[in-house]
Structure 1
C-alpha cells in the first residue's frame, strides 16, 4: 500500500510505421516521451524524437513514417492494472511500476519530465530529491549506488528512486550517458530544481550533469 494511494508506472509502446492505437488510452495524468521515431496525438500535434507530451485526458497516438518507440509514464490508482495499448502494428509492455509514498497526498503536485546527460566518466554527487520518480536509460551505461546497494543499468532499463534516499550515480567511462525521468514533486518546485546534496560542500562543486526539461505541469488528483 502506498501512502498517497497512487503508483507511478512506466510503459513502452512500439508502433510500426503508420500504426495507430485502436482505442484511446483512458484519462490519467500521463507523459508520452518520444524515444525513437515520431508520433502524432489525436489533435494532430506532432512529436519528434526527444520530445514529450503531457495531459490528463484520454489520448490516442499514431506513428510517423519511421514508426515510434514511446516511453509512457502514468500516475495511476494503486489498485489499477497496466493499460496496454492495442492496434495493428502496436506492441505494449510494462517496464516498471512503483507505489508512491510522497509527496503529501493532501498537497498540490506537479509531474516533471526531464533528461539528465553526463559526459564520459561523469557522476552525480550523493544527493536526494524532494519527490519520487522513475528513470529510464536512453544512452550509455550508469551505476546507481543507494543504501540498498549498487545496480548497473543499460539502455532501456528503468529504476525507481523514492526521493529521500541518498543516491550516487556514476556514468560510463566509455561514452556519454543519458536518462529520461518522470518525477512527482510538490507544486512549489515548479520551475525549480528538486535536488539536494547530502554533503553541504558538494553544493558549490562543479557538476558534470546537464538537464533538458520537457514537462513541468500541475497534476489533477
Structure 2
C-alpha cells in the first residue's frame, strides 16, 4: 500500500492579478465562481464557473476581468500543506479546507476524477461504497453523511473525506436541491463509468435520484 496526502484548498485570484504558477503535481482545479485560464507547457484551457481541470504537470492559472474563487485538490507524498499553497503570489489567498490520508493499493494504476453530484430535495444515496477515496465539498444545499457509526451535516463550503471502502449513507435537506463537488482517486478501469456500489441487495433495484457529471479525469503517471 502507498499512503498519499490529499489537500483541498480554497483559492481566490483577484481580477487582473499576476498569474499564479504551480509546480508539477497531481491536482484538480474546480471554478467555484469567476473564471481562469489554465495553461501548461502543451495546452491551455479556459475554465468558467462550474468547470474543472485535472493536471499532472506545471500549471499557470490566470484570472481575467473578475475575481476567481477556486477549489483545488493536490495529491502528494508530503504532509505539509504549505508545500501546496500559492507561493510568490501576494495578491492571492489560499486557505486549506481539509487534508486526508489516502491508502492506495500499489497493484492498481490510479486515475484522478473531479465530478459533481446533485440530489433533489429530500434525496438519498443508499448505503454504498466507492472504488477509491477522496474529498468532497458542498456547493449548495445540505447533506448528512452517516458512516462508521457517526453522522455529520455539511452545508455550503463544508468539506469531508470518504475512504471509499467504508460504507456511507447520505441524505439531503428537504428545503432545496443539494450539489457537492468531489475529487477522488479510482482504479483506471473505472475511467468514464460510475464507481458507485450499493451495499444492500434490497436497495439495488431502487431508483437512483442523484445526478452525476464527470468534469475532468486523468490517469496518473506515477502509478
- State the TM-score, normalized to the length of structure 2: 0.92
Residue 139 of structure 2 corresponds to 138
Written as runs of structure 1 = structure 2, the 5 A alignment for 1:1-221 is 3-22=1-20, 24-42=21-39, 44-82=44-82, 83-86=84-87, 87-102=89-104, 104-221=105-222
TM superposition outliers: structure 1 runs of 4+ over 4 Å: none
Q: SS of 1:188's equivalent?
A: helix
- Please tell me whether the aligned partners of residues 120 and 174 of structure 1 are also in contact (alpha carbons under 8 angstroms): yes
The Cα of 1:88 is off from its aligned counterpart by 4.1
Gaps of 5+ in 2: none
The Cα of 1:160 is off from its aligned counterpart by 0.3
The Cα of 1:21 is off from its aligned counterpart by 3.8
| Matches of 2:77 and 2:195, distance apart in 1 | 24
| Matches of 1:155 and 1:29, distance apart in 2 | 25
Gaps of 5+ in 1: none
The Cα of 1:179 is off from its aligned counterpart by 0.2
- Please tell me whether the aligned partners of residues 118 and 210 of structure 2 are also in contact (alpha carbons under 8 angstroms): yes
After superposition, what is the alpha-carbon deviation per residue over 1:109-142, rounded to whole angstroms, capped at 9, x for unaligned?
A: 1111110001111111111111101001000011
- State the TM-score, normalized to the length of structure 1: 0.93
The Cα of 1:201 is off from its aligned counterpart by 2.1
Q: Residue 114 and residue 173 in structure 1: after superposition, are their counterparts in 2 closer, same or farther (change >3 A)? A: same
> Between Structure 1 and Structure 2, how many residues are aligned?
217
Of 64-73 and 80-89, the range deviating more from structure 2? 80-89
- Please tell me whether the aligned partners of residues 21 and 85 of structure 1 are also in contact (alpha carbons under 8 angstroms): no
